Amino acid sequence: MCGIIGYLGKKHPKDVLLSGLKNLEYRGYDSAGIALINKDTTQIIKSVGKISELEKKINSTDLINSNVGIAHTRWATHGEPNEINAHPHKVGKITIVHNGIIENASTLRDSLIKEGVEFNSSTDTEVIAALLNKYYKDNMEDAINKTIKAIDGSYALGIICDDEPDKLYAVRCESPLIIGIGKNEYFITSDIGAIISYTRKYVLLGANEIVSIDKDGYKITKDNKEVIREVNTSELTSESADLMGYEHYMIKEIMEEPVLVNNIIQKYKDNLDKLPDVKKYKHIHIVGCGSAYYVGMIAKNFFEDDGLDVQIDVASEYRYRNIKYNKNTLVILISQSGETADTIAAMRKANDKKIDTLAIVNVDGSTIARECTYKVLIEAGREVAVATTKAYILQVLLLSLISYKINPDKEYLKDLVKLPSQLKVLLDKTGFHKKLADKVYRKNDVFFIGRKIDYAICLEGSLKLKEVSYIHSEAYQAGELKHGTISLINKGTVVFAIITDDDIRDKTISNLEEVLSRGAKAIYIGNKKEKYRNKIIVPRIHKKLQPLLVVPPLQLISYYVAYKRGCSIDKPRNLAKSVTVE
Ligand code: AGP
């Protein structure tokens, strides 16, 4: 869950590596480093903390002349975040950066120590470098092939070698890695976004394929046989990687929602045939992690109302469940990045059983987008903030359209075309949202209550608040509170009540009254006027579209709460945008 980048070309790598690391920082930001190489030496500079710390260090260091370099930003898994454990790691002639986890690292480490190898860090990565150094005679592909046979786990590696200062190598398995093709210059990176301002041409590296790059070009091999891979052109623009005048990516990406929602509506409202036909399946399994799973909780309500048999699970559980698949099953995998390890495993579980899989995904070319039977791209553009916002909204919208296709009704279409402007009006009321954030930002505990689809909305509202503001927040089925948790309600405890579904409105209101009578402070978000002082009333629209007007205000409130608490909004502590390890 780290970010890696490498460069070989006519330029000095410093600027390419630093701007790339800044773009990759969403993948992990507890320590970072770069390595530069020339015929005389390899220079490594590392630091703890954000890229800005590394940049300060680099700018106060005399850098060697070089045209080849690798760099890394870290999300610690093996070994605490400190300068020694930061990448790059050098053993003998070999210097590497690594994204992934080596599961048999400690066994390998013990046997290498017996062979006299001394280790500086407690990382699994240094073990890979030691293996490469052990196997490297004068042929790097051989050394890499021997090494990848010895290690178990996920990896994307950038490799340079003292004996070959004009070459850059890379290999991957599970973890994402692409090769960027520029004019007389080449890049390796975890994400095209990190090099989009230099080139949009890229090649996807397959599992256990090795690329060797020098000034004359690149060559991909697998088991010593050459592999030819297609050169793709990314749709991404450098603008989408830009803050566009906003202070944080999170608020920028929330404010992009009305336009992006409108794009999808214009694309599909008269072309439903372009969307998958879910109706033909008897059983639907919905799988995802974090917010993607919560998108699934919303979709479960849609499909159950369509009369389908739906089950939903978090991918980390689903992948290990003993599931008896009925042939007529569709497994829907929801993922923004398309690289979440648990969701990939859940997908492969179904694929291996020849069960149809449908990806609702943002990153085209990602593992989930490539390996699912069908895919629907949500076209959110690049989502930089770790806390997902626009991707969540577009995933819900596309699943809503897929559900509408099962049971078309005129009311839905009428409301659909009004949605983008209603959303814009709502999000423009920033003052409203800030006022509600004022009621929350000093709190240590917050609760969200709702029933059915409102409960699914609560789950996302609570996660958003938790992950960006570090306030302890829980979402509860409103009817469940009195079975224990209500004992936590105290004078002044903030309780968000989400009420949009008329079938259960009165029930949720009586649950809200239960907590108010114990001194709680209510914040009501719904589509019908109610007596509560702190509230947001959203336009009343079709049931299958209503969450799209309730979740954005919750995203905005979470943003302002985190802002008032001075949190690192785009890069909350301990998190990363794409969880590529189990
Ligand atoms: C949400 O804000 C978090 N970033 C996290 O819960 C995320 O939804 C989860 O890790 C799944 O990521 P994915 O959509 O890229 O698979």
Task: Please give the Cα distance from 177 to 205 (Å, whole number).
Answer: 6
User: What local confidence, expressed as pLDDT, does residue 239 receive?
Assistant: 55
526 close to ligand 1 (CB < 6 Angstrom): no
508 close to ligand 1 (CB < 6 Angstrom): no
337 close to ligand 1 (CB < 6 Angstrom): yes
Contacts of 274 (CB under 8 A, 6+ apart): 267, 268
Task: Please give the Cα distance from 334 to 351 (Å, whole number).
Answer: 15
289 close to ligand 1 (CB < 6 Angstrom): yes
Protein residue with its CA nearest to atom 6 in ligand 1: 290
CA of 337 to the centre of ligand 1 (A): 8
User: What local confidence, expressed as pLDDT, does residue 569 receive?
Assistant: 96
- Using alpha carbons, select from 232, 243, 89, 227 the residue that is nearest to residue 155: 89
pLDDT in tens, the chain (582 residues): 689 999 999 999 999 999 999 988 878 888 999 999 999 999 999 999 889 999 999 999 999 999 999 999 998 877 888 999 999 999 999 999 999 889 999 999 999 999 999 999 999 999 999 999 999 999 999 999 999 999 998 899 999 999 999 999 999 998 889 999 999 999 999 988 899 889 999 998 999 999 999 999 999 999 999 999 999 988 766 655 578 788 999 999 999 999 999 999 999 999 999 999 999 999 999 999 999 999 999 999 999 999 999 999 999 999 999 999 998 999 999 999 999 999 999 999 999 999 999 999 999 889 999 999 999 999 998 899 999 999 999 999 999 999 999 999 999 999 999 999 999 999 999 999 999 999 999 999 999 999 999 999 999 999 999 999 999 999 999 999 999 999 999 999 999 999 999 999 999 999 999 999 999 999 999 999 998 999 999 999 999 999 999 999 999 999 999 999 999 999 999 888 888 877
Q: Starting from the edge strand earliest in sequence, which strands make up the sheet with 374-377, in order?
A: 309-314, 283-288, 329-335, 356-361, 374-377
Q: DSSP for 90-104?
A: EETTEEEEEES-BTT
The single residue listed with the structure tokens 């050169």 is 231
Around 271, how many Cα atoms within 13 Å sit in the side-chain half-sphere?
7
Q: Starting from the edge strand earliest in sequence, which strands make up the sheet with 186-189, in order?
A: 42-48, 31-37, 68-74, 3-8, 186-189, 178-181, 201-204, 232-233
467 close to ligand 1 (CB < 6 Angstrom): yes
387 close to ligand 1 (CB < 6 Angstrom): yes
Please report, as a single letter, which amino acid is at residue 579.
V
Q: DSSP for 356-403?
A: EEEEEESSTTSHHHHHSSEEEE-------SSS--HHHHHHHHHHHHHH
Measure Cα distances from 492 to 17, 132, 439, 449, 521 in Å.
Answer: 49, 60, 10, 16, 5
579 close to ligand 1 (CB < 6 Angstrom): yes
User: What local confidence, expressed as pLDDT, does residue 1 receive?
Assistant: 66
Protein residue with its CA nearest to atom 16 in ligand 1: 335
23 close to ligand 1 (CB < 6 Angstrom): no
> In this structure, is the dihedral angle defined by the CA atoms of residues 48, 52, 54 and 60, taken in order, positive or negative?
negative
Structure tokens at 17: 């590596």
> In this structure, is the dihedral angle defined by the CA atoms of residues 366, 220, 151 and 102, taken in order, positive or negative?
negative
240 close to ligand 1 (CB < 6 Angstrom): no
Protein residue with its CA nearest to atom 10 in ligand 1: 290
Protein residue with its CA nearest to atom 2 in ligand 1: 387
Best of 291, 293, 551 for a ligand 1 pocket test (most atoms within 8 Å of beta carbon): 291
Ligand 1 atom closest to 579 (CA): 10
CA of 162 to the centre of ligand 1 (A): 39
CA of 286 to the centre of ligand 1 (A): 15
Ligand 1 atom closest to 386 (CA): 4
Task: Please give the Cα distance from 15 to 314 (Å, whole number).
Answer: 40
Ligand 1 atom closest to 464 (CA): 2
Give Cα 477 to chain centroid, integer Å: 27
Task: Please give the Cα distance from 523 to 496 (Å, whole number).
Answer: 5
Q: Which residues are catalytic?
A: 2, 577
Best of 336, 342, 389 for a ligand 1 pocket test (most atoms within 8 Å of beta carbon): 336
211 close to ligand 1 (CB < 6 Angstrom): no
Best of 289, 393, 581 for a ligand 1 pocket test (most atoms within 8 Å of beta carbon): 289
CA of 346 to the centre of ligand 1 (A): 15
User: What local confidence, expressed as pLDDT, does residue 29 receive?
Assistant: 80
**Tell me, what DSSP letter sits at residue 153?**
B
pTM to 2 decimal places: 0.81
CA of 442 to the centre of ligand 1 (A): 26
290 close to ligand 1 (CB < 6 Angstrom): yes
